[in-house]
Amino acid sequence: MDIGVLLPTGTAQWGPGDGPRELVAFGRRAERLGFSSVFVNDSLVSPRIEALTMLAALAPVTETVTLGTAALLPFLRRPVQTAQTLASLDLLSGGRLTVAVGAGFPGRFGRPLYDLSEVPWARRFARLDETVALWRALWSGADSFHGEILRFDGLPPATAPHRTGGPPVWLGGGTPAAQDRTGRLYDGWLPYPPDPADYASGLLNVRTAAAGAGRPAQDVTPALFVSVRVDEAGEDGARHGMEAYARAVYGMPLSELERIQAVVAGSAEQVHAQLTRFVEAGARHLVVRPGALGLASQRDQLERVAGLIPALTASAAAAAPLVPGAQRGTVA
């Protein structure tokens, strides 16, 4: 069981006097508290520290945590240069990089960003898959790549990443088509469905697609992106804080956000119970986004969630495995 945290790199999550250099200390603190990964998100919708720049700052000052993107938007960057950057990050971190990717969404989180990047909105999912295939080809020493959308001849020698074949690449997306593509092509699945039952059925689809492609089910890491707020006042107090977070970060009420994303709020016991439902549904790498405004409040939430790590790990050990043939008590 892995428990990770999303760094508050967006300035909408900061308070007066907060500064970007505090994010490095935040990542180091997460490692010391026992989190197994530190993730950053990626967008041009609101001011934020650029994702790969943030990971480059964390690579030399951390030792054990996975450094990840949740999720990187490859269409914002040139694909060959991005392969070089990711390989460099994998080297600088000693092989601790995980790259979750996405194609963006309709509305302000999608098409306007494609226009800014001068990349066609049409066939965006095929472009994403080909971009990842190009990265993997470059990381394996290829000097050409011929896809339906991306075609390159005479590619120069690329920087070799720390790990043979490059860092694992996960897909962020919960639609049936995304589940199928995850099983066939990706190393992990990072959705955020509000209902654990939807996570369980989606994971079954991912593993069915993997089996159809001749891949072992355990080759695909089952992860979950979830917003969390732990409050001593219980559910009412936690939801009040999460309401302010949803409106500041997304410009929408909590009731609307929790219809489309996994949101967990309450006392420590309530949060543990709700997260355990996702663990029982098969999630084995939780990427937790603290639902708090201001870096001091974010740090407080970091401490509170860290207190749940032992219990969540025990919940995963007790959960029935989803990989056929595994013995009860093992983590798939």
Q: 160 near 87, Cβ under 8 Å?
A: yes
pLDDT digits (tens, 9 = 90+) for 196-226: 999 999 999 999 999 999 999 999 999 999 9
pLDDT digits (tens, 9 = 90+) for 273-321: 999 999 999 999 999 999 999 999 999 999 999 999 999 999 999 986 6
CA 310 vs CA 174, 317, 325: distances in Å: 28, 11, 26
Domain ranges of the chain: 2-72+168-318
Q: 66 near 96, Cβ under 8 Å?
A: yes
Q: 111 near 122, Cβ under 8 Å?
A: no
Answering whether pTM is above 0.85, one says yes
* DSSP notation for 23-76: HHHHHHHHHHHT-SEEEE---SSS-B--HHHHHHHHGGG-SSSEEEEEEE-GGG
Tell me the C-alpha distance between 90 and 56, whole Å: 10
The CATH architecture assigned to 2-72+168-318 reads: Alpha-Beta Barrel (3.20)
